[in-house]
Amino acid sequence: MGNVKHLLRYLSFGLLIWNVTAVIEDIDIPPELLDCFTDWDFNENISTIAGQNVLHTCMSDYLWKTGKERWSPDVDPRILQFISEDVREREKYINEPTDSQTTTASPYKNLRIRKEYRTLTQRERRKYHRAVQALKKDKRLKPNTYDAIANYHNAKIQYAAHGGPSFLGWHRIYLMTYEDALRRMDPDVTLPYWDCRYEEAMEDPSKSMLFSRHFAGNGDGEVDTGPFKDWTHDAFGKLTRAVSKGAELMGYEDVKNILSRNNTSEITIPTADSTYNLEYHHGKIHLFVDGHLSDLVSAAHDPLFFMLHAFIDYIWWMFRNKQEENGIDPSQDYPETLIERHQPDRTMDGFEMYQNIDGYSLNWTRDIYTYEISPTECSEQYPSCNSKWLTCQFSNKRCVSKARRSNSRSKSERLTAFTDSALTEVNSVEDFTPDTCSKLDSTIQNTFSVDGFADSSKWSYIPIKIVNERKQFELFRSFDVVDGSANETLDIFDSEKYDALRRKEDNGKLGTYRKCKISGSGATKIFVNAYGLNYFGVSTEYTIVDERMALSEGYAFVPIKKPTEKPSEVFFAAYDSCGRLCKPYCRKNGKYQQCTAVLRVGNISSEQFGDTYGDAFLNTWDFDGDGIPEVNKANVYLSFYCNRKEEWPWQPYTRSEC
Ligand SMILES: [Cu+2]
């Protein structure tokens, strides 16, 4: 039996050589995606910006713009009726005569007040959670009202919701629709916002109390604690997050920077510089939570989506208040743009009673809702930050979130009793645990969501080789000993010590996330993302390399859609735990050569990928003979080189600006 298997393997290997180029080939980067990369390439310096943030921005925009070509969730057509009822109801308030500029006018007393999630009273928080849960059970829309509204955040319909000035206005209208739906469940409820500056300022944001059962539930893997536990969606499967990948959030500095600008064009795509670009910064929050939230088509499946966007809307509200103080009318400050779908007088996608510019109207925050300012500053005299879930970071005089009590994985935290009666305890200092920050203690649960199914049997695995180059000036505290004591200048692994070795390395510096830390042990993760281009589906895997060494190698087996009926077209990207991008190489004629990392994987059986993780592994490692297993290089088509060369991975393919 074993021999037959052996024979089959050799036979299929023979076939593989026969049509080796037909199975996997690298193809061009889609021109619209390359345009985005090229723009960033010209405007930003790779030695200062974390490449992964740029990658995520361009991929999100591209996948959204081309969403019509891919699967997206079904939308219950009755939502249109729902929305127009909503709008009619809202108009009643807007048409009321107002004392235009004074705050004493009567309509103000009915304004809904949106508060920060952590500043809600326990009763308010509970009512809000219940309203969201009720929406998920409500059957007025199919498959339930929550999912119907979430599915409406749909690349096929909402073409103009992202990638330009209408991003802000469109989401403002969309949030009101959601909030109205919540209020049909409980008229006292308003949508809270998630001020993620509280997390960003923490040593390790993934340890925030936000990701406990008192708030949004756990952030690692399937959400099985908190108010949204065990939530499922027909097509996306169980609600999933992966907050521990080490991506960065929008922080105090970012908000300050944005609020330092005067005109909307300075904070919106395509004219804003990344420092002040609100849509770009919002993308980082999506990326931080990851899982369903990282892909825009599935994002609204996670209720955090609406709180995240309420925070963006809150920042925009503060920005507009400042504009008014400076004599600018925010409703007229719709940026001029060449992007056709973002023209101010274009009908608003999905809300056809409005034009894009109507999202900028003064009515919404004058007559419908307003915000309560979130506590940000504190001191020794006023350490409370108005919430028992927040604490004062005295060094910066800033409010930050408290950490969850357990320092171990939240999975085990979930096993330990942490009841409501214990709530009072979290006020004590003991609740703060030192962060290890190594990010090695969590794995990734992929959603395996593909074209309307969450099912891993619809996925294949492709082996990817990662070669990591040591980063300059990192110290691992392992020194030469001179005259009986350690010489603590350069550790023995440092290439700087060895002329010949140093000359082999790229002498550059790549931008990182602001809070980029080395683990100290040398172990670090290199992640690989696989974005479906001709299917809906995203996956992530990682390998662990030794960052002490001049070079270190690892393998990742990354899920892609199983190429059954047609070849799968996939864009791969690799990045390290600090957000630095790696450069792709494809194996052609027995050598790795720079390539696009856009692969077409054919529907011919091949040893270059596997139907299961196990198959891919067996194709990659040769167990033949009595010797030590060895990697069969011919079967590893794609490789990434994580070096220090100051070059974007796609640079060889960007056209030069005329
Ligand atoms: Cu959106």
The tens digit of pLDDT for each residue in 13-66 reads: 444 444 444 589 999 999 999 999 998 888 888 999 999 999 999 999 999 999
Give me ligand 1 centre to Cα 580, in Å.
Answer: 26
At 464 the three-state DSSP class reads strand
Give me ligand 1 centre to Cα 108, in Å.
Answer: 29
Q: Is the peptide bond before 143 cis (omega within 30 degrees of 0)?
A: yes
Kindly tell me if the per-residue pLDDT of 374 is higher than 50: yes
pLDDT of residue 652: 84
Give me ligand 1 centre to Cα 151, in Å.
Answer: 11
CA 428 to centroid of chain Cα atoms: 32
pLDDT of residue 109: 58
Structure tokens at 226: 């908190």
pLDDT of residue 655: 59
Structure tokens at 338: 């060449």
- What Å distances lie between residue 513 and 196, 245, 578, CA to CA? 16, 12, 5
More confident residue, 575 or 430: 575
Specify which residues 640 forms β-bridges with: 466, 584
**Alpha carbons 98 and 351: distance in angstroms, whole number:** 25
Q: What is the CA radius of gyration of the chain?
A: 26
Answer yes or no: pTM beyond 0.85: yes
pLDDT band at 241 (very low <50, low <70, confident <90, very high): very high
Closest CA relative to residue 371, chosen from 175, 197, 115? 115
Percent of the chain residues topping a pLDDT of 90: 75
Give me ligand 1 centre to Cα 157, in Å.
Answer: 12
**Alpha carbons 156 and 353: distance in angstroms, whole number:** 19
pLDDT of residue 22: 52
> What average pLDDT does the segment 327-356 reach?
96
Give me ligand 1 centre to Cα 647, in Å.
Answer: 30
Q: Which range has the worst mean pLDDT, 5-9, 371-375, 458-462?
A: 5-9
At 586 the three-state DSSP class reads strand
Give me ligand 1 centre to Cα 313, in Å.
Answer: 12
**Alpha carbons 608 and 161: distance in angstroms, whole number:** 39
Give me ligand 1 centre to Cα 648, in Å.
Answer: 27
Q: Which range has the worst mean pLDDT, 68-72, 342-346, 505-509?
A: 505-509
Burial (CB count within 10 angstroms: exposed 0-12, middle 13-18, buried 19+), residue 80 = middle
pLDDT of residue 122: 96
Amino acid at residue number 252: Y
**Alpha carbons 652 and 55: distance in angstroms, whole number:** 16
Q: Which domains does the chain have, with CATH numbers?
A: 2-43+446-471+491-653 (no CATH), 78-374 (1.10.1280.10)
- Other CB atoms within 10 A of residue 611 CB: 14
Give me ligand 1 centre to Cα 300, in Å.
Answer: 8
The tens digit of pLDDT for each residue in 555-596 reads: 999 999 999 989 999 999 999 999 999 999 999 999 999 999
Structure tokens at 291: 């899982």
Helices (H), 138-272: 145-152, 166-185, 197-200, 252-259
Give me ligand 1 centre to Cα 282, in Å.
Answer: 10
Q: Which range has the worst mean pLDDT, 205-209, 316-320, 622-626?
A: 622-626
pLDDT of residue 416: 37
Phi/psi for 520 (5° steps) reads 100, -35
DSSP β-ladder status, 523-532 and 568-576: antiparallel
Give me ligand 1 centre to Cα 189, in Å.
Answer: 22
The tens digit of pLDDT for each residue in 146-155 reads: 999 999 999 8
Closest CA relative to residue 467, chosen from 417, 531, 528? 528
Q: How far apart are the first and last CA of the chain?
A: 64
Kindly tell me if the per-residue pLDDT of 295 is higher than 70: yes
For the chain, the average pLDDT equals 88
pLDDT band at 390 (very low <50, low <70, confident <90, very high): very high
At 129 the three-state DSSP class reads helix
Give me ligand 1 centre to Cα 366, in Å.
Answer: 23
